[in-house]
Structure 1
């Protein structure tokens, strides 16, 4: 609540927002703290899976060294989302002066959305990344890009690092990956 809302709710004629502010900050030793935005909350199982994958990769690096790292081609897609969060005033809360900043999850997004495949390909607004578009990306965009920038990778096994989104795991995509080794 704002100081003006507290003053109004108290229904005391001589109580102003300024007096409420002084009472809250001086006598009650409170301050307004803005929420800290975080993208999402992970459950324990998701955290454990991430730790497990990180350990596996670290073990592999320990065994193979720099040769392992030089073989990795990392692919990541990201949606560029436009959020309409509450204003700073709307997200503030009265807390003790020693309180840490609360977290708040971004939930409301606008209808503006664009997918960018960060490696070397931009997907048009409104396009869905399906198994077909991803398979085509691997063969028609990624492979020529590797050939141009790091041709030595094509002579040995490339380690393709991508997430396990449904289009990435489809048979059509896996057959492209198998075809090119």
Structure 2
């Protein structure tokens, strides 16, 4: 449940986003790099849509067995912009993301931007990530300041306003649905191949949904946005 303080902060962040976007929409959206982390399992159950079957009206209902996520999993940190995926960084099994590791990932991200988005570092980068502890640590903030990057504020408890959560990762999980992998490397290859193969139009759609969701957040006085 969102408290009134949470709702007020969500509206505040949404209004700031929309104001910056309105001033120069193309420049603002072009400058944003958004990122988040997700768990990718060795076995991801099919979605309800994927498991649908055509059958005759008189046919018996097919048996469906409950599937659970497998124990084997890989943590992926993904950064992307409206043109494509910039970086897919995997955590070794059994480790957790701390400030030091996240700073190493951000340095990889900077190199990726330098190589894939010529001139973007000079024009300016706006980084969007959530408020996880490694993201707001003193070392992380110092590194971002050293890079000269701005931060696009993300309100707490707001996955509905994070494009990775409401747009990119659901597409990834749908793609992985029904597939089985035996090793971390197989999962990593499948994830990387899919994300790097996404068309710019797919990612641009996520940014447009982001604008729409920010507007709805303001209209709903900070309540969660379903679609």
Q: Distance in 1 between matches of 2:18 and 2:8?
A: 15
1:97-146 CA distance string (max 9 Å, x none): xxxxxxxxxxx96644421011221222222111000001111x101100
Distance of aligned partners of 1:113 and 1:48 in 2 relative to their CA distance in 1, 3 Å threshold: farther
Q: Which has the higher contact order (CA 8 A, sep 6+)?
A: 2
Q: CA deviation at 1:173?
A: 0.9
Q: CA deviation at 1:170?
A: 0.6
RMSD over aligned Cα, in angstroms? 2.8
Tell me if 1:133 matches 2:114: no
Unaligned runs of 5+ in 2: 46-67, 80-86, 149-227
Distance of aligned partners of 1:60 and 1:84 in 2 relative to their CA distance in 1, 3 Å threshold: closer
Q: Distance in 2 between matches of 1:109 and 1:153?
A: 39
Q: Could you say which structure has the higher strand fraction?
A: 1
Distance of aligned partners of 1:134 and 1:49 in 2 relative to their CA distance in 1, 3 Å threshold: same
Q: Distance in 2 between matches of 1:54 and 1:83?
A: 36
Check whether the contact 2:35–2:77 (CA below 8 A) recurs between aligned residues. Answer: yes
Instruction: Give SS of 1:73's match.
Output: strand
Of 104, 115, 118 in structure 2, the residue corresponding to residue 151 of structure 1 is: 118
Of 51, 73, 76 in structure 2, the residue corresponding to residue 116 of structure 1 is: 76
Q: Distance in 1 between matches of 2:14 and 2:69?
A: 31
Structure 1 counterpart of 2:24: 64
Check whether the contact 1:114–1:126 (CA below 8 A) recurs between aligned residues. Answer: no
Of 24, 32, 40 in structure 2, the residue corresponding to residue 80 of structure 1 is: 40
Check whether the contact 2:41–2:74 (CA below 8 A) recurs between aligned residues. Answer: yes
Distance of aligned partners of 1:84 and 1:134 in 2 relative to their CA distance in 1, 3 Å threshold: closer
Unaligned runs of 5+ in 1: 1-42, 86-107
Instruction: Please tell me whether Structure 1 or Structure 2 has the larger radius of gyration of its CA atoms.
Output: 1
Q: Distance in 2 between matches of 1:127 and 1:67?
A: 37
Q: Distance in 2 between matches of 1:156 and 1:162?
A: 20
1:61-99 CA distance string (max 9 Å, x none): 0122211111101111112358999xxxxxxxxxxxxxx
Instruction: Give SS of 2:39's match.
Output: strand
**When the two structures are aligned, how many residues end up with a matched partner?**
117
Q: Distance in 2 between matches of 1:178 and 1:123?
A: 25
Q: Distance in 1 between matches of 2:41 and 2:77?
A: 14
